[in-house]
Amino acid sequence: MKIVFSDFDGTLTVNGKLGAFFFDLLDIIEKNNSELVIVSGRSLSWGHFLLTHFPLKHAIMEGGGVILSKNVDGVISEEFLVSDDELERLESVTAKLQRDVPETVLSVDSFGRKSDRAIEFSQMKQTDVEKAESYLLKEKANFTRSNVHVNFWYGDISKNFAVNYFLKNYTPHIKKEETIFYGDSLNDESMFESFPNTVGVSNIISVLDELYHKPKIILEGKENAGAFGVLNHLKEIFNQSIDF
């Protein structure tokens, strides 16, 4: 596997926390001449944090709305996969949503987002979340749920679209078949649908019934929750005991 694409929340964390296992993961990936590219619904500013503090060259953030890259001097650049018109529409509809559905709780990191916004659904009543989602539907916004947020945006944003774009434009020598994707939630479904090597860590069980397209391999057991599952599976892959 030349690139390990992975979701962040619930996939590279365990019970919401990042731990020493994350460094074990980075280590095993590097030792096997592979590269980790995090593909997350978290904000652009989170992407800056990840690239600044960890030995990562690229990160795909905001559910696929932006690709961040770090050059050899440590300078980070951003490429947006949506148009200026779509960014403006998002801004105006977000303001309207807050006015017309005042129960909407925007995530605290929404100020650090450009290509999408996020709703903190755990701080809202289920009926209010549905009200906000109906409003977004009426405004023809796209939206999806991650473990932590309902993200919404305009334009063709998906993890699948962004990863395909990344492979074509950033690493054209690498084929889809030479990559693997790990995920755990509904916003990973576009990857499960279209990528050949996909794995769900065991905590994906909580949303499995809601996924129309499921990962090719679904890990089981507490020992394969989040990053532990990724780590165990990568060890098997790099020992070549698994065939897809």
* Interface of this chain with Mg ion, residues 33 to 52, rule: CB under 5 A: none
- Measured CA to CA, the distance from residue 237 to residue 53 in angstroms comes to 27
Are the C-beta atoms of residues 97 and 137 closer than 8 Å to each other? Answer: no
Question: Among all residues, whose Cβ is closest to Mg ion?
Answer: 10
Task: Identify which of 182, 180, 181 has the alpha carbon closest to the alpha carbon of residue 202.
Answer: 182
User: Quick one: which of 104, 107, 179, 185 contacts Mg ion (CB under 5 A)?
Assistant: 185
* Nearer to Mg ion among residue 9 and residue 133 (C-beta): 9
Q: Is 9 in the site for Mg ion (CB under 5 A)?
A: yes
Helix/strand/coil percent split, the chain, to 5:
45, 20, 35
- Measured CA to CA, the distance from residue 98 to residue 101 in angstroms comes to 5
* Nearer to Mg ion among residue 89 and residue 145 (C-beta): 145
Report the 10 Å Cβ neighbour count for 168: 9
- Choose the binding region for Mg ion from 9-17, 89-97, 157-165, 172-180 (rule: CB under 5 A): 9-17
Contacts of 209 (CB under 8 A, 6+ apart): none
Print the binding letters for residues 133-172 with Mg ion: x by CB under 5 A, - otherwise: --------------x-------------------------
* Nearer to Mg ion among residue 87 and residue 186 (C-beta): 186
User: Quick one: which of 3, 4, 5, 10 contacts Mg ion (CB under 5 A)?
Assistant: 10
Residues of the shown chain interacting with Mg ion in the complex, contacts defined by CB under 5 A: 7, 9-10, 147, 184-185
